[in-house]
Each structure stands twice: as structure tokens, then as C-alpha cells.
Structure 1
């Protein structure tokens, strides 16, 4: 009887070890699958929330950019109108002034040259 009792204990022990190994493998697989699913869900949530925030920022940025462009266009329109009017007036006056200034400058230059020549002669002596 002792031999058959030992055989029964060994047989039962083998079956228990097999069952424990199978259960451990199943638990490990389930844990790995759960971890992978949780990681995938977290990544998807982060990507979706990031995209939503990015879209919101893009809309805000585009709105701000459009407002700035409109302000620049208004400023440019105002500046262009003023500049065009001023340029036309300045050109008319500049043409007249340039002619007068050229004549005056020529006369002044001649006088200055004469004085300079005299000074040079004195220095040489």
C-alpha cells in the first residue's frame, strides 16, 4: 500500500504543478494584454486631446493672425493714401526748390573756391 500511496501522491503532485503552471501562464498573458490595452488607450486619449488642443490653438492663432493682417491692411491703406498725396506735393515743390538751390549752390561754391585759393597761397609763402 505504501507504494500505491506514493504513486497517487506523485500523480496528484504532477497534476497540481501542471495546473499551477497553466494558471500562472494565463495570469501573465492576461496582465500583459491588460497593460497593452491600457497603454494603447492612454496613447489614443493623449493624441486625441492633443489634437483637439492643437486645433483650438490653430483657430486662435489664425484668428489672431487674420486680425493682425486686417489691421496691417488698414494701416497700409491709410499710409498709402497719405504717402501718395504727400509724395505728389513734395515732388512739385522739390522740383522748384531743386532748381533754385542748384543756382545758389553754384554761386556759393565759386566764392568759396576763390577764398580757398587765397588761403593756400598764403600758406605756401
Structure 2
């Protein structure tokens, strides 16, 4: 089996669409004007569904996040600089035994990780 989609609930669907289009090159597959749902594709078989959050009391659990594994550290550093210069909340660049990574907040208070694995020595 292959994971092929995830459905995230957000307070503002359109803001979340713009975020995932801008920073992760997702392509909207559904009606741009819908405030209730958006279906985006990464053009490689993965679908991201964004639905309007119906109950603002529902929040993602602490530590919940979505992650993007990239090929190299330059991509992580470029992402970090881009979101920081756009004024988004972003962590410092972290280096540990898992690799090089950063975290930022997408609209809807969704934690997003961008990372690359350590190179084999």
C-alpha cells in the first residue's frame, strides 16, 4: 500500500492553499473559490485535501506535523530563508542525527517540517 493523500482541516482554506502552492509547488485541482474544500496535487501521485475546520475547538495534538523530505541541505536552507524573509514563523536550522531540518507554521497552525537526511560517510 502507498499513502496517497492526507486531509487537513484548517480555519481558512484559501490561505492554506496559497501556502502549499507557494512553498511546496502543489497544484490546485478543484475550484479556487471554494471556502469549504480544496484538493491539491504534487503531480507525483500525492493529493493534499484542505477542508474548512468546522469546530475551532478542535486542534491538532502537540507535535503533530507534516513533513517534506528533500534531497539536500541547500533546499532546506533555501526554504528557511524564503519563509523567514516572507515573515512566517520558522525555527532555526536544526542539525542532529536525523539530518538538517526546519519547522514552520502553515496557516491553520499546522506544523510543517522540511528536512534532509544525513549523508552517508
Fold similarity call, TM over 0.5: no
Q: Which has the higher helix share?
A: 1
Greater RCO (CA < 8 Å, at least 6 residues apart):
2
TM-score, normalisation: structure 1: 0.13
Structure showing greater radius of gyration is 1
Q: Which has the higher strand share?
A: 2
